[in-house]
Chain A
Amino acid sequence: ETGVTQSPTHLIKTRGQQVTLRCSSQSGHNTVSWYQQALGQGPQFIFQYYREEENGRGNFPPRFSGLQFPNYSSELNVNALELDDSALYLCASSSAGQGITGELFFGEGSRLTVL
Chain B
Amino acid sequence: KQEVTQIPAALSVPEGENLVLNCSFTDSAIYNLQWFRQDPGKGLTSLLLIQSSQREQTSGRLNASLDKSSGRSTLYIAASQPGDSATYLCAPEVGNMLTFGGGTRLMVKP
Contacts and interface: CB of A to CB of B under 8 A. Distances in A.
Question: Do A and B come from the same complex?
Answer: yes
A44 B43 contact: no
A101 B44 CA distance: 16
Given A42-B4, A100-B93, A101-B93, A106 B99 contact: no
A100 B4 CA distance: 19
Interface residues of B, number: 24
Given A44-B100, A102-B32, A103-B49, A90 B44 contact: yes
B97 interface: yes
Interface residues on A, range: 20 to 34
B100 A42 contact: yes
A56 B97 CA distance: 7
> B interface, by DSSP: helix, strand, loop or mixed?
strand
Given A100-B31, A103-B34, A104-B34, A41 B102 contact: yes
A100 B98 CA distance: 10
Nearest to B97: A45
Contact of A108 (B43, B96, B99): B43
> A interface, by DSSP: helix, strand, loop or mixed?
loop
Contacts of B34: 103-104
A91 B99 CA distance: 15
A111 B41 contact: yes
Interface in B41-93: 41-46, 49, 89, 91, 93
